[in-house]
């Protein structure tokens, strides 16, 4: 379909969607199928499907080598990996984390009856603000979990300094940050341990999966036991453990994906550059940037919408894009502190999180990855440009249409 020239052509106002098929954020990257199928056949022939099989072992070695870290323990997903890392590091009481993260970071603590204490972020980086972290430390605090949101590293040194001075453990939820670096050193080498996600929606996936990486050999040994029920040998359980194991099919997917890693990142990078050029100079539309001096996976294309400058708010823009089959997402709206059980436990937590509250109203994630190319990105940017250029009219018409279709919900209706 041709680019839209006037706002009457917008799908949310009755036009035909630009895209016939939905464009997703988090469309899985798949490596060479022949290589994958060969590995699947191999593991079937071997009849070794799980429990520290040869593919998992090879996968762990390769990840550790890539990151330059002493230990990698592959896991069934990053949420269980977080839970195990938290338990192995002996966190209890209260742990400071950002509210601006995927809910798994908070749930991994609460699941073990540890209280996540939500800390505000630095609006420039979207990551934990170390100055705010220090204010939240109490006698019950045992640790900090920083989250490298969008693959951009936390202020690792400041957090390490706070952790050291207050005798706290420091973990990093690096779910977004596989293959990213901080000051030239690969993420995975910081804090007591870091946790990667290899979920299907990540640029590199093992269907479901994750890993804990650490340079602490004793911690790694505990984690290895804990992810296998605490078994130290046949018939010998020496810890309270769980089942966090990665299976052989996931490792086969991972080994295959690793062979295409540079291609995945290259596609993401070129998509990011295409968005940057397509959205350049648009008032109120700010694409977050990455440090060219660092390694980055560019897996998230994140835009902040400043309603005052753009003339249109994030939620209306998301609604317009979704009608065009561009499934932009509001990661991470409304913030963990606004979700259960945290909202009920601490209904006024938002008062201490002004930057988080502001950001969750502005941020959106756009489709990228190997399922999207320059043509699609050009069209997505054209829609955004058209909307911002005619923001006043578009907003009035979209909102009046919402009132017609939902007269009782009115302007208060959640538009996405």
Please report whether residue 105 would count as binding ligand T4K according to CB under 6 A. yes
Using CB under 6 A as the binding rule, the residues of this chain from 162 to 181 that contact ligand T4K are: 173, 175-176
Helix/strand/coil for 347: coil
Alpha helical stretches, state H, 89-170 = 103-110, 130-135, 156-165
With CB under 6 A as the contact rule, the residue among 10, 91, 147, 318 that binds ligand T4K is 147
- Interface stretch with ligand T4K, choices 29-37, 154-162, 163-171, 193-201 (CB under 6 A): 193-201
- Least distance (Å) from ligand T4K to the CB of residue 73? 14
How large is the angle between the packed helices 261-278 and 248-258, nearest 10 degrees? 60
Q: Which of 11, 28, 94, 146 binds ligand T4K (CB under 6 A)?
A: 28
Q: Which of the stretches 34-42, 100-108, 235-243, 339-347 binds ligand T4K when contact is defined by CB under 6 A? A: 100-108
Q: Does 26 bind ligand T4K (CB under 6 A)?
A: yes
Least separation in angstroms between CB 79 and ligand T4K: 4
Q: Kindly state the DSSP code that residue 52 receives in the 8-state scheme.
A: S
Residue closer to ligand T4K by CB (options 370, 401) is 370
DSSP string for 179-238: T-EETTEETTSSSSEEEEE--TTSSS--SS-EEEEES-HHHHHHHHHHTBTTEEETTEE-
In whole angstroms, what is the distance from residue 398 CA to residue 319 CA? 9
Q: Which stretch binds ligand T4K (CB under 6 A): 24-32, 57-65, 156-164, 226-234?
A: 24-32
Q: Could you say whether residue 71 binds ligand T4K (CB under 6 A)? A: no
43 binds ligand T4K (CB under 6 A): no
Straight-line distance from the first to the last Cα atom of the chain, in angstroms, rounded to the nearest whole number: 25
List CB contacts of 78: < 8 A, sequence separation 6 or more: 104, 173, 175, 195, 196, 197, 198, 199, 209, 210
Report how far residue 100's alpha carbon sits from residue 380's, in angstroms, rounded to the nearest whole number: 26
* Of residues 175 and 388, the one with the C-beta less far from ligand T4K: 175
Q: Report DSSP state, residue 20.
A: S
C-alpha to C-alpha distance for 111 and 82, rounded to whole angstroms: 11
User: The tokens of 361 are what?
Assistant: 């109203």
Q: Should residue 197 be labelled a site residue for ligand T4K when binding is judged by CB under 6 A? A: yes
Binding part of the chain for ligand T4K, among 42-50, 71-79, 114-122, 306-314 by CB under 6 A, reads 71-79
Q: Does 25 bind ligand T4K (CB under 6 A)?
A: yes
Q: Which one, 25 or 128, has the nearer CB to ligand T4K?
A: 25
Give the x/- contact pattern for ligand T4K in 318-347, rule: CB under 6 A.
---------x---x----------------
User: Could you say whether residue 118 binds ligand T4K (CB under 6 A)?
Assistant: no
Closest residue by Cα to residue 322 from 383, 412, 390 = 383
Cα Rg of the chain (Å, integer): 22
By CB under 6 A, residue 241 contacts ligand T4K: no
What part of residues 284-303 is at the interface with ligand T4K (CB under 6 A)? Answer: none
Give the footprint of ligand T4K on this chain (CB under 6 A).
Answer: 24-28, 77-79, 101-102, 104-105, 147, 173, 175-176, 197, 199-201, 210, 327, 331
């Amino acid at each position: 379909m041709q680019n839209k020239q006037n706002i009457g052509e917008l799908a949310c106002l009755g036009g035909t969607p630009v895209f016939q098929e939905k464009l997703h954020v988090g469309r899985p990257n798949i490596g060479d199928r022949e290589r994958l199928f060969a590995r699947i056949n191999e593991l079937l022939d071997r009849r070794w499907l799980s429990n520290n099989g040869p593919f998992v072992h090879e996968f762990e070695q390769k990840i550790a080598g890539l990151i330059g870290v002493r230990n990698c323990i592959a896991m069934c997903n990053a949420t269980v990996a977080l839970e195990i890392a938290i338990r192995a590091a002996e966190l209890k009481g209260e742990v400071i984390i950002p509210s601006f993260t995927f809910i798994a970071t908070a749930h991994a603590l609460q699941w073990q009856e540890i209280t996540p204490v939500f800390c505000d972020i630095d609006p420039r980086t979207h990551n934990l603000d170390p100055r705010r972290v220090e204010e939240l430390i109490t006698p019950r605090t045992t640790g900090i979990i920083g989250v490298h949101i969008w693959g951009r590293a936390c202020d690792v040194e400041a957090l390490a300094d706070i952790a050291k001075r207050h005798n706290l453990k420091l973990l990093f939820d690096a779910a977004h940050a596989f293959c990213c670096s901080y000051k030239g050193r690969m993420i995975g080498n910081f804090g007591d341990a870091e946790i990667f996600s290899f979920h299907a929606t990540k640029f590199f996936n093992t269907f479901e999966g994750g890993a804990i990486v650490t340079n602490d050999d004793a911690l790694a040994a505990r984690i290895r036991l804990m992810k296998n029920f605490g078994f130290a040998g046949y018939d010998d359980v020496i810890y309270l453990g769980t089942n966090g194991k990665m299976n052989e099919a996931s490792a086969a997917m991972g080994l295959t994906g690793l062979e295409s890693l540079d291609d995945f990142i290259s596609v993401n990078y070129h998509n990011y550059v295409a968005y940057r050029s397509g959205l350049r100079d648009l008032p109120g539309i700010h694409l977050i940037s990455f440090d060219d001096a660092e390694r980055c996976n560019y897996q998230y294309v994140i835009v902040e919408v400043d309603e005052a400058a753009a003339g249109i708010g994030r939620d209306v823009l998301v609604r317009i894009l979704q009608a065009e089959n561009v499934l932009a997402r509001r990661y991470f709206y409304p913030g963990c502190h606004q979700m259960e059980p945290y909202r009920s436990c601490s209904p006024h937590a938002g008062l201490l999180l002004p930057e988080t509250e502001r950001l969750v109203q502005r941020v959106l994630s756009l489709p990228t990855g190997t399922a999207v190319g320059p043509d699609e990105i050009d069209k997505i940017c054209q829609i955004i440009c058209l909307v911002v250029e005619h923001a006043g009219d578009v907003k009035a018409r979209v909102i009046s249409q919402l009132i017609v279709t939902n007269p009782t919900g009115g302007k208060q209706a959640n538009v996405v």
